Amino acid sequence: MVPLRTISYRKVVSLTQAIAPEMPCWPGDPPLELETVAELGREGYGLRRFALGEHSGTHVNAPNSFLADGAAIDAPAADHWVVPAIVVDGRDRAAADPDWQVTVADLEAWEAQHGTIPPDHLVILWTGWQDRWGDGAAFLNGDGDGVLHFPGFSEDAVAWLLGDRAIAGLGTDTHGIDPGTSTTYGANRQILAAGGRVLECLTRLDQLPSVGATLVIGVLPLVGGTGSPASVLAFVP
């Protein structure tokens, strides 16, 4: 028999950015489209059609987004989407250097203050980029050559987190767990190859404790999907 698991919480926080036509989208990704199909005063009910990229807004990446033999977003069992989390506050480093990459030393410094990163936890990087969401240019922070500049996890740090701490995945309030300058997406590839979760464009990370929250991640089970917009709730003790 599977042992009973519980979630103890005092409040629930939505970590999901609002979906609106003006929200930041990855360069080349389709913008949000909305079309009124039915109106209350005309058809007697309201209905809109929407079209949105699989990796837009607060979203998760599926393994097949980076790995040829990777699973699609509809493959994991339901309990895959319930996961405890820790939060690494990197706002000062990110403000000083938008190209900052989390290192093993940064994570060891976090552990010196909060304790060893527990296994099977999602590690969330709080950069402060959530506050830029209303300004697409500032959020993506591209330069004249089209290179994006936002913080992320170094490949060495991800390898250490997987190998030495057995984490469940990574999350961030930027548009990618890889730094914006990355062309190899090594953080994504490592996490997804290990069967982990990748959460991007999170918000309200300031309302989470460093340790103790549990996330419930709602995804659209798109058959063959490479990812999905997500509704992410944090249960905070």
Write down the residue that tokens 């058809």 correspond to: 43
pLDDT at position 3: 85
> Is pLDDT at 24 greater than 90 in this prediction?
yes
Q: Which sequence spans correspond to the domains of the chain? A: 11-19+54-236
What confidence score (pLDDT) does residue 1 get? Answer: 79
Angle at 212 between CA 211 and CA 218, to 5 degrees: 115
Number of Cβ within a 10 Å radius of residue 146: 8
Mean pLDDT of the chain: 97
CA distances from residue 211 to 50, 113, 114, 116, 219 in whole angstroms, order as listed? 36, 11, 8, 11, 24
Query: What is the crossing angle of helices 186-193 and 155-165, to 10°?
Result: 20
Q: Report the CATH number of the 11-19+54-236 domain.
A: 3.50.30.50
Q: Specify whether the CB–CB gap between 24 and 56 falls below 8 A.
A: no
**Residue 88's closest CA among 181, 151, 156, 42?**
151
Query: Sign of the CA dihedral 52, 53, 57, 59?
Result: positive
Using one digit for the tens of pLDDT, what is the confidence trace for 97-114? 999 999 999 999 999 999
The SS3 of residue 139 is: helix
pTM assigned to the model = 0.96
* CA distance linking residue 231 with residue 74, whole number of Å: 15
Cβ pair 73, 198 in contact under 8 A: no
Listed residue (185, 176, 188) closest to 149, CA to CA: 176
